[in-house]
């Protein structure tokens, strides 16, 4: 081993994660194309590379285990073995062991994993059972010198000698010195090794380098102009500053873009999840994946994996009916699970769609009443009923299976998605299937906002929710019942006076002297009345929740160019705030002045 | 400063070697494939090349054979790193033009010794 510095370890872990995902992909391909040499080669290389890296970092238990897997793959490659289902199963089990090893290493431990011996036994068994001639003699553990070629190092290779007759044999620990050295080094760096790094394509880096180059040129130009300034040069200076602005914005976008990774990495693992869950549940399921190239913030991608896994498992285990039930309902025996991702505006949507039985409204409602979540005599809407399944401990599963039905999960799913500032919605039709749609922000870090002023305070409205803005004429204003409305392109929409919602003192009270900003979140449209529009800004979003808890109507805060703190309003929810005035919105609205926000 | 090229498809292995070699005071250039290795060697002269064998596309041994054809690298020491160390493999390495064989995994001292032994011997790089 060479120095186990935390950075190398992090690089190794990240690479190993990718390799193991690729390895599993290969195994699934081999199930349909057992003789594909290219796929076997790819799988071999993945195992080989993991082993190599593990060896160099003296992660010997992992290296030793992967060596056994590599040997098996080598025999497949050399056609000494035929790729049977048993072999694929054994390799899938090995893949799980390697993942367990990687998790242990992330925890700072380099040791054998439980269950590893059993899997080794399986590997040896499938190798021994192969109808091809037995394996080649074990590789020599010392270096053989070729004449004239000098071996510079003799290291203890992790090569446990193949013992086909012993089903479970612990792999001998080798290179104790190296092992000792690796353990403490690995320990202290657990966290850094987690997700501390990100892989960026050379292309993206080159674009940045280019842009920074241009930025310096513009800066030099401005520097020169300023140094030897005369009023006649004002126009040139203004042009240069405008160029500088363009470059800055471009740079900002591209730097953010570095954080964007395709959801492919997350989606790919579901081939395996669906396969395993379907096998355990005794169902036939085909998985369709769409839009895997859709890009999302790396943090979001990492955090969406768990809730998504839960939804996928649920869909296979609960959503899809057993084969007989499907056939008698006139559906194809094979259930269909669709996983798709797409971008719409500044949001990413991820959908998990099954063609199963759909949610059972009556049963969910009954459970809800039993648990006192729905008062007797009240008829909730469909959406309210579906919402019940996100309550903690809520499960309608009749039998608790190994897979799901323990009542934990959906509430966690919702919480995870909430944490990402996302939303989850359900569309379902009895007998036809269920779709879970997760809406996520493109990135958590930046936002395009419309800057508005009410009284002395400045607020930001997320640009995505803004349709248009205008100063209304008296003719456009009106009332429907007690609600103030304004006409927007022939349609009347309710008016929400921002100063009322936020109980601000100074304000323009006459709508014809104010500005109406039309807000639409996809389901509702309304006009938000503000004093003045101040412009459009791309801002860095700072969370308020750490210090102030969640404030209804407020999505976060940001710091403006002049150092002033401005709240970012969750515009669509403002309509709900006025409506709920008498009921749910009990907290005194009060002026939302946030004292002394720390500049982060 | 002496310049070393590392050719390996594993970013982890490259990073480990780079960390060590930079610490030893060498300048390091990385290539993630055989093809990239040849391209690097065409562009600049190295004092040492360390290459993996098993890489997608052009293998390490094919890369070494190609690099040896370059006038700039006729005498450059080239180490092969591999988990395999059979006589047949090392013979093929020699045939391709490798100078020495490192069996993975190896200790830093081993690499240090090998560099001391081979890089010092080679004629200085033409600037």
DSSP A151-195: EEE------PPP-TT-SS-PPPP--HHHHHHHHHHHHTTHHHHHH
Listed in sequence order, the residues at least 6 apart from A586 whose beta carbon sits closer than 8 Å to its beta carbon are none
Inter-chain residue contact A151 with B90, CB threshold 8 Å:
yes
User: In sequence order, what are the beta bridge partners of A454?
Assistant: A457
Residue A182, pLDDT score: 37
Task: Provide the 3-class DSSP secondary structure of residue A212.
Answer: helix
Inter-chain residue contact A154 with B15, CB threshold 8 Å:
no
Does residue B126 surpass a pLDDT of 50? no
Architecture of domain B3-119: 3-Layer(aba) Sandwich (3.40)
- What is the average pLDDT across B10-37? 89
Inter-chain residue contact A58 with B83, CB threshold 8 Å:
no
Nearest CA in chain A to B14: A8
Distance CA A484, CA A486 (A): 7
Looking at chain A, the whole-number percentage of residues with pLDDT higher than 70 is: 80
> Quick check: A106 and A193 in contact, CB under 8 A?
yes
Does residue A107 surpass a pLDDT of 70? yes
CB pairs under 8 A between A and B: 132
- What is the average pLDDT across A30-41? 84
Q: Across A293-334, where does the E strand assignment appear?
A: 295-297
Chain B residues inside the 8 Å CB shell of A182: none
H or E segment to which residue B19 belongs: helix B11-23
The C-alpha of A297 sits at a distance from chain B's nearest C-alpha, in angstroms, of 23
Distance CA B2, CA B122 (A): 12
> Quick check: A334 and A416 in contact, CB under 8 A?
no
- What is the average pLDDT across A394-408? 48
Inter-chain residue contact A56 with B110, CB threshold 8 Å:
no
- What is the average pLDDT across A320-348? 88
Chain A residues inside the 8 Å CB shell of B13: 52-53, 56
For residue range B69-97, what is the model confidence (pLDDT) as tens digits? 999 998 899 999 887 778 888 888 888 99
pLDDT: which is higher, B8 or A127: B8
For residue range A120-151, what is the model confidence (pLDDT) as tens digits? 888 888 888 765 444 444 443 333 333 444 43
The contact set of B with A (CB < 8 A) is: 9-13, 15-17, 19-20, 23, 52, 54, 56, 79, 83-87, 90-91, 93-94, 98-108, 110-111, 113-114, 117
For residue range A213-245, what is the model confidence (pLDDT) as tens digits? 888 888 888 888 888 888 888 888 888 888 888
Task: Provide the 3-class DSSP secondary structure of residue B53.
Answer: coil
For residue range A464-476, what is the model confidence (pLDDT) as tens digits? 778 899 999 988 8
User: In sequence order, what are the beta bridge partners of A460?
Assistant: A451, A568
Torsion of CA B19, B24, B28, B30, to 10 degrees: -40
Chain A residues inside the 8 Å CB shell of B99: 150
Residue in A3, A15, A152 closest to B102 by CB: A152
Listed in sequence order, the residues at least 6 apart from B21 whose beta carbon sits closer than 8 Å to its beta carbon are B4, B6, B28
ipTM: 0.74
Interface test with A, best of B6, B9, B58, B83 (most A CBs within 10 A): B83
The C-alpha of B126 sits at a distance from chain A's nearest C-alpha, in angstroms, of 26
- What is the average pLDDT across A281-305? 87
pLDDT band at A589 (very low <50, low <70, confident <90, very high): very low
Residue A287, pLDDT score: 92
DSSP B90-105: HHHHHHHT-SEEEESS
Lowest mean pLDDT among A338-347, A350-359, B47-56: A338-347
- What is the average pLDDT across A296-325? 86
Chain B residues inside the 8 Å CB shell of A56: 12-13, 16, 104-106
Residue in B16, B87, B105 closest to A8 by CB: B16
Inter-chain residue contact B90 with A49, CB threshold 8 Å:
no
Give me A328's structure tokens. 């008698």
pLDDT band at A527 (very low <50, low <70, confident <90, very high): very high
Distance CA A67, CA A59 (A): 12
- What is the average pLDDT across A332-338? 92
Dihedral angle sign, alpha carbons of residues A82, A87, A89, A95: negative
Does residue A544 surpass a pLDDT of 70? yes
Chain B residues inside the 8 Å CB shell of A144: 85-87, 90
The C-alpha of B25 sits at a distance from chain A's nearest C-alpha, in angstroms, of 15
The C-alpha of B45 sits at a distance from chain A's nearest C-alpha, in angstroms, of 23
Task: Provide the 3-class DSSP secondary structure of residue A448.
Answer: strand
> Quick check: A495 and A511 in contact, CB under 8 A?
yes
User: In sequence order, what are the beta bridge partners of A500?
Assistant: none
């Amino acid at each position: 081993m060479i120095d186990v510095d935390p950075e190398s370890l992090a690089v190794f872990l990240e690479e190993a994660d990718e390799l193991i995902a690729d390895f599993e992909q290969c195994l699934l391909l081999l199930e349909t194309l057992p003789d594909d040499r290219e796929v076997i080669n790819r799988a071999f290389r993945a195992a080989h590379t993991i082993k190599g890296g593990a060896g160099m970092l003296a992660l010997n238990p992992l290296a030793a285990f992967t060596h056994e897997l590599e040997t098996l793959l080598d025999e497949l490659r050399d056609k000494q073995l035929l790729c049977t289902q048993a072999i694929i199963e054994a390799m899938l089990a090995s893949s799980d062991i390697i993942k367990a090893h990687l998790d242990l290493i992330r925890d700072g431990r380099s040791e054998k994993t439980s269950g590893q011996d059993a899997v080794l036994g399986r590997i040896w068994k499938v190798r021994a059972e192969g109808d091809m001639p037995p394996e080649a003699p074990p590789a020599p553990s010392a270096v053989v010198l070729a004449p004239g070629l000098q071996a510079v190092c003799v290291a203890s290779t992790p090569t446990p000698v193949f013992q086909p007759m012993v089903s479970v044999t612990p792999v001998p620990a080798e290179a104790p010195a190296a092992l000792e050295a690796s353990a403490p080094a690995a320990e202290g760096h657990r966290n850094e090794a987690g997700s501390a790094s990100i892989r960026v394509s050379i292309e993206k880096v080159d674009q940045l380098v280019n842009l920074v180059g241009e930025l310096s040129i513009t800066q030099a130009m401005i520097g020169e102009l300023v140094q030897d300034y005369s009023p006649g040069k004002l126009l040139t200076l203004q042009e240069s500053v405008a160029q500088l602005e363009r470059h800055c914005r471009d740079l900002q976008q591209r730097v953010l873009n570095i954080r964007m990774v395709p959801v492919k990495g997350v989606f790919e693992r579901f081939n395996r999840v669906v396969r395993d869950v379907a096998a355990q549940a005794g169902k036939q399921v085909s998985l369709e994946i769409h839009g895997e190239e859709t890009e999302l913030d790396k943090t979001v991608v990492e955090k969406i994996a768990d809730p998504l896994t839960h939804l996928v498992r649920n869909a296979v285990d609960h959503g899809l009916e057993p084969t007989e039930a499907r056939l008698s309902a006139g559906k194809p025996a094979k259930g269909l699970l669709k996983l798709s991702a797409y971008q719409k505006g500044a949001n990413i949507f991820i959908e998990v769609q099954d063609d199963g039985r759909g949610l059972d409204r009556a049963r969910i409602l009954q459970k809800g009443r039993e648990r006192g979540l729905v008062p007797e005599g009240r008829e909730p809407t469909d959406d309210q009923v579906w919402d019940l399944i996100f309550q903690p401990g809520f499960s309608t599963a009749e039998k608790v299976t190994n897979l799901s039905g323990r009542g934990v999960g959906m509430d966690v799913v919702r919480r995870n998605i909430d944490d990402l500032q996302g939303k989850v919605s359900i569309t379902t039709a009895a007998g036809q299937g269920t779709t879970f749609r997760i809406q996520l922000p493109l990135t958590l870090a930046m936002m395009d906002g419309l800057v508005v002023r009410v009284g002395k305070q400045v607020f930001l409205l997320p640009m995505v929710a803004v349709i248009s803005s205008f100063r209304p004429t008296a003719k456009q204003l009106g009332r429907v019942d007690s609600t103030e409305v304004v006409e927007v392109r022939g349609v009347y929409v309710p008016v929400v006076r921002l100063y009322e919602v936020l109980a601000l003192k100074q304000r323009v009270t006459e709508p014809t002297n104010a500005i109406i900003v039309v807000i639409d979140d996809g389901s509702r449209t309304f006009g938000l009345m503000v004093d003045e529009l101040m412009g459009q800004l791309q801002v860095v979003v700072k969370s308020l929740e750490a210090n102030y808890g969640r404030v209804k109507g407020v999505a976060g805060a940001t710091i403006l160019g002049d150092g002033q703190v401005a709240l970012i309003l969750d515009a669509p929810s403002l309509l709900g705030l006025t409506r709920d005035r008498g009921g749910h919105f009990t907290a005194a609205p009060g002026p939302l002045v946030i004292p002394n926000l720390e500049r982060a | 400063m002496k310049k070393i090229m590392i050719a390996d498809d594993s970013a982890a292995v490259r990073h480990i070697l780079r960390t060590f070699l930079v610490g030893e005071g060498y300048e390091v250039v990385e290539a993630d494939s055989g093809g990239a290795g040849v391209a690097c060697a065409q562009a600049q002269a190295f004092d040492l090349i360390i290459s993996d064998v098993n890489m997608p596309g052009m293998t390490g041994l094919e890369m070494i054979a190609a690099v040896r054809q370059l006038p700039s690298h006729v005498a450059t020491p080239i180490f092969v790193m591999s988990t395999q160390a059979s006589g047949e493999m090392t013979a093929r390495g020699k045939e391709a033009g490798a100078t020495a064989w490192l069996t993975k995994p190896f200790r830093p001292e081993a690499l240090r010794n090998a560099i001391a032994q081979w890089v010092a011997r080679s004629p200085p790089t033409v600037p």
